[in-house]
């Protein structure tokens, strides 16, 4: 047996052991607690150390692979990301055993595994598996295969999350070229890639390049539908939000007004869709410090919806919540409660909107009070490496949206950031929790704030005080020859 074959055999047993643990942890497998996989993996892994060739697992069946994939999709849909990642690893291993390390069938499992690893923050492992999928597609289909677009985009997003913006740009650029070759220069499928490039260029500080990709999207809308067609309005909103994000408030307001004009001219003064443009303008007015104009614009939107026989209760509630939030930030809790109560009633009148109602009112929402401190310098130490600290706060929020009984539950390092964090909560205003249409006090809320601080190791502690980053190689699917 050559070295690659031996490595594959050993790897297969090790990954099979991981898969066995994942199956044992499945909530639907009642017998798992009594199985060897639930009590330990030594029995499964031991044969690989003694005799890798004889320990190779039996060839899986297509039915077993299908069941593993169904389990992965279920866990992912349930939001159980850790379990879903282990399930994705199992699918990849079974696929490799069933079809081979160079099979076309392995591409999708590798991408799914990389997506989950990136979601969980295991970026080195995600990069490896995205690259494995890319290399496999290139070998089978060539450098211009449109199937490369998806893993290249995923790889770019992983690089962005890791702060490796130059590599992200390289990956997104290639994905965009392939997209344009396959679908042309004016397709909407490229927007996700362009958004990734926008984030990359923000990371490198090249804001003109970042803006280019957002402006290009509106140009694509306009080429497809025409400049004054209502179908271009979603593209206008997105660009307006981008300008607002980078502080170009005047340009953002101009686009929102242009969108509102298009809707008035094409759909009439009481067009329900105008509410979105008015919401955008109101947010801009408040950012500019013009709260009276913001409130007037929101009330105009509510009146517009009330005038339309086909009024949208969800849009109306969104405007009311926004108006209530504005009053809360102004220190007018009584006025805010009126708007919140109406929004509660609008959303409670239709089961379709109950999730939105709960999102707004199930728990208090902090609306003002200034930013939390993001970093600190320990005054008791000399400058040194950056470390991560945290403060956990317990507090109550009364029916007027004010925090009370603020206490520190835990902090690391003790005493460094406790007072600044408590100060933020004392001056904060919250949208209160609502029950049956009434604001309610909420007690024993917990919140954790993470921050960075500067410290140096104790000279007598050797390397123990240094900040260590564990190598992130958990769950990678290595292939022969890697």
Q: State the angle between helix axes of 354-361 and 333-348 in degrees (0 to 180), rounded to the nearest 10.
A: 160
When pLDDT is averaged across residues 326-342 and rounded to a whole number, the result is 96
pLDDT at 40: 35
pLDDT at 10: 31
- 330 pLDDT higher than 70: yes
Helix, strand, or coil (residue 200): helix
- 156 pLDDT higher than 60: yes
376 vs 116: CA distance, rounded Å = 33
CATH classification at residue 375: 3.30.2420.10
In a domain, 398, yes or no: yes
Nearest CA-CA partner of 201 in 223, 173, 234: 173
- 6 pLDDT higher than 50: no
Residues pairing with 393 in the sheet: 408, 447
Name the more confident of 99 and 371: 99
Count other C-beta atoms under 10 Å from residue 150's C-beta: 19
461 vs 298: CA distance, rounded Å = 60
**Please, which pLDDT band fits residue 14 given cuts at 50, 70 and 90?**
very low
Domain that holds residue 378: 367-461
In a domain, 86, yes or no: no
Q: How far is CA 4 from CA 8, 101, 125, 132, 329, in A?
A: 6, 12, 21, 16, 64
213 vs 232: CA distance, rounded Å = 16
241 vs 422: CA distance, rounded Å = 32
Indicate the pTM of the whole model.
Answer: 0.74
**Please, which pLDDT band fits residue 3 given cuts at 50, 70 and 90?**
very low
Residue 90 in contact with residue 116, Cβ under 8 Å? Answer: no
How many structural domains comprise the chain? 1
pLDDT at 54: 52
Name the more confident of 470 and 466: 466
pLDDT at 150: 97
In a domain, 192, yes or no: no
pLDDT in tens, 160-207: 999 999 999 999 999 999 999 999 999 999 999 999 999 999 999 999
pLDDT in tens, 36-80: 333 333 333 333 333 444 556 688 899 999 999 999 999 999 999
In a domain, 233, yes or no: no
Over the chain, what is the mean pLDDT? 84
Residue 324 in contact with residue 337, Cβ under 8 Å? Answer: yes
pLDDT at 84: 95
When pLDDT is averaged across residues 323-350 and rounded to a whole number, the result is 95
pLDDT at 456: 54
In a domain, 454, yes or no: yes
- 343 pLDDT higher than 90: yes
When pLDDT is averaged across residues 454-470 and rounded to a whole number, the result is 46
- 133 pLDDT higher than 70: yes
Judged by phi (left if over 0) then psi (alpha if -120 to 50, else beta), residue 480 lies in beta
pLDDT at 57: 66
b/e code 412-435 from CB counts within 10 Å (16+ = b): ebeebbbeebbebbeebbbbbbbe
Query: Which residue's entry shows tokens 């443009």?
Result: 277
When pLDDT is averaged across residues 456-466 and rounded to a whole number, the result is 46
In a domain, 377, yes or no: yes
24 vs 264: CA distance, rounded Å = 59
**Please, which pLDDT band fits residue 326 given cuts at 50, 70 and 90?**
very high
pLDDT in tens, 385-427: 778 899 999 999 999 999 999 999 999 999 888 999 999 999 9
pLDDT at 384: 59
In a domain, 413, yes or no: yes
Count other C-beta atoms under 10 Å from residue 324's C-beta: 26
pLDDT at 55: 58
pLDDT at 310: 83
In a domain, 290, yes or no: no
Residue 197 in contact with residue 207, Cβ under 8 Å? Answer: no
When pLDDT is averaged across residues 239-245 and rounded to a whole number, the result is 95
351 DSSP assignment: G
């Amino acid at each position: 047996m050559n070295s690659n074959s031996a490595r594959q055999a050993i790897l297969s047993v090790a990954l099979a052991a991981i898969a066995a643990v994942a199956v044992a942890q499945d909530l639907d497998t009642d017998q798992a607690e009594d199985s060897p996989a639930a009590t330990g993996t030594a029995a499964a892994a031991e044969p690989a150390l003694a005799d890798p060739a004889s320990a190779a697992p039996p060839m899986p069946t297509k039915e077993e692979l299908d069941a593993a994939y169904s389990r992965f999709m279920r866990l992912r849909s349930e939001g159980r990301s850790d379990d879903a990642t282990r399930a994705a690893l199992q699918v990849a291993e079974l696929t490799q055993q069933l079809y081979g390390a160079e099979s076309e069938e392995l591409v999708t499992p590798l991408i799914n595994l990389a997506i989950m690893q990136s979601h969980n923050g295991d970026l080195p492992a995600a990069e490896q598996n995205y690259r494995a999928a890319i290399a496999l597609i290139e070998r089978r289909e060539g450098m211009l295969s449109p199937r490369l677009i998806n893993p290249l985009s995923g790889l770019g997003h992983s690089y962005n999350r890791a702060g490796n913006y130059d590599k992200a740009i390289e990956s997104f650029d290639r994905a965009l070229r392939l997209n344009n070759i396959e679908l042309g220069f004016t397709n909407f499928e490229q927007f996700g890639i362009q958004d990734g490039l926008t984030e990359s260029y923000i990371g490198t500080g090249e804001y003109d390049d970042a803006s280019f990709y957002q402006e290009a999207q509106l140009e694509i809308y306009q080429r497809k539908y025409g400049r004054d067609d209502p179908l271009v309005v979603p593209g206008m909103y997105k660009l307006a939000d981008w300008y607002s994000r980078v502080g170009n408030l005047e340009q953002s307001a101009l686009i929102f007004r242009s969108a509102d004009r298009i809707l008035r001219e094409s759909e009439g003064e009481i067009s329900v869709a105008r509410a979105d443009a008015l919401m955008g303008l109101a947010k801009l007015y408040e950012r500019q410090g013009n709260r009276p104009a913001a409130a007037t614009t929101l009330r105009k939107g509510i009146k517009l919806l009330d005038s339309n026989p086909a009024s949208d209760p969800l849009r109306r509630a969104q405007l009311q919540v926004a108006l209530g939030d504005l009053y809360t930030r102004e220190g007018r809790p009584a006025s805010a409660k009126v708007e919140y109560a109406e929004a509660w009633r609008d959303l409670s009148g239709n089961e379709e909107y109950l999730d939105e109602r709960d999102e707004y009112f199930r728990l208090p929402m902090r609306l003002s009070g200034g930013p939390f401190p993001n970093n600190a310098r320990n005054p008791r130490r000399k400058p040194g490496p950056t470390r991560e600290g945290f403060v956990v706060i317990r507090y109550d929020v009364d029916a007027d949206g004010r925090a009370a009984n603020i206490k520190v539950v835990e902090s690391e390092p003790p005493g460094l950031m406790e007072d600044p964090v408590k100060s933020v909560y004392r001056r904060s205003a919250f949208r209160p929790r609502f029950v049956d249409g009434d604001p309610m006090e909420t007690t024993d809320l917990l919140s954790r704030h993470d921050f960075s601080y500067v410290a140096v190791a104790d000279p007598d502690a050797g390397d123990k005080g240094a900040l260590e980053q564990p190598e992130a190689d958990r769950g990678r699917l290595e292939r022969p020859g890697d």
